[in-house]
């Protein structure tokens, strides 16, 4: 299974899903014009991955900004990983970004996966 790599832009996050390492990353700003179409390859890739998942999978989310439509698709990604044993979410927010940290905690309340929260400085 090949690594999924979608380059980021000013309006779209970079997505790197690496089967070999079991580390999936979504980072940057997320406000694409068509969120469903932008995230479709990621959701399809996860469905293939779920057929032969690694024993440990980590999804690292390091988002600077996320619009409402993107937040729904991020939730869909989290839900698609929810049944995979050994999956952990690492939610990274700038140390001065209370909104993004709060969003991570909101997801943690509704998604049945372990969350680890990290902060970073810019």
Q: What is the pLDDT of residues 22-35, one digit of tens each?
A: 999 999 999 999 99
CATH 3.30.750 fits 4-120, yes or no: yes
- Please give the biggest Cα pair distance in the chain: 39
At residue 105, what are phi and psi to the nearest 5 degrees?
A: -65, -35
Q: Tell me the percentage of the chain whose pLDDT exceeds 70.
A: 100
Q: Give every CB contact of residue 44 below 8 A, 6+ residues apart in sequence.
A: none
Q: Tell me the percentage of the chain whose pLDDT exceeds 90.
A: 97
pLDDT in tens, 36-64: 999 999 999 999 999 999 999 999 999 99
Beta strand 57-66 pairing with 87-94: parallel
Tokens 């380059």 correspond to: 7
At residue 40, what are phi and psi to the nearest 5 degrees?
A: -55, -50
Q: What is the DSSP letter of 2?
A: P
| Stated pTM of the model | 0.95
Closest alpha carbon to 80 in 116, 113, 105: 113
Closest alpha carbon to 39 in 57, 12, 59: 12
Distance CA 20, CA 2 (A): 9
Q: What is the mean pLDDT of the chain?
A: 96
């Amino acid at each position: 299974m090949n690594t999924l790599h979608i380059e980021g832009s000013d309006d779209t996050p970079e997505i790197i899903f690496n089967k070999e390492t079991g580390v999936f990353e979504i980072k940057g700003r997320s406000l694409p014009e068509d969120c469903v179409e932008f995230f479709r390859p990621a959701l399809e890739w996860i469905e293939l991955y779920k057929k032969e998942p690694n024993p440990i999978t980590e999804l690292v989310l390091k988002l600077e900004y996320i619009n409402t439509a993107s937040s729904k698709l991020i939730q869909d990604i989290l839900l698609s990983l929810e049944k995979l044993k050994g999956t952990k979410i690492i939610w990274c927010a700038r140390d001065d970004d209370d909104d993004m940290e709060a969003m991570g905690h909101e997801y943690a309340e509704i998604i049945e996966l372990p969350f680890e929260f990290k902060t970073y400085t810019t």
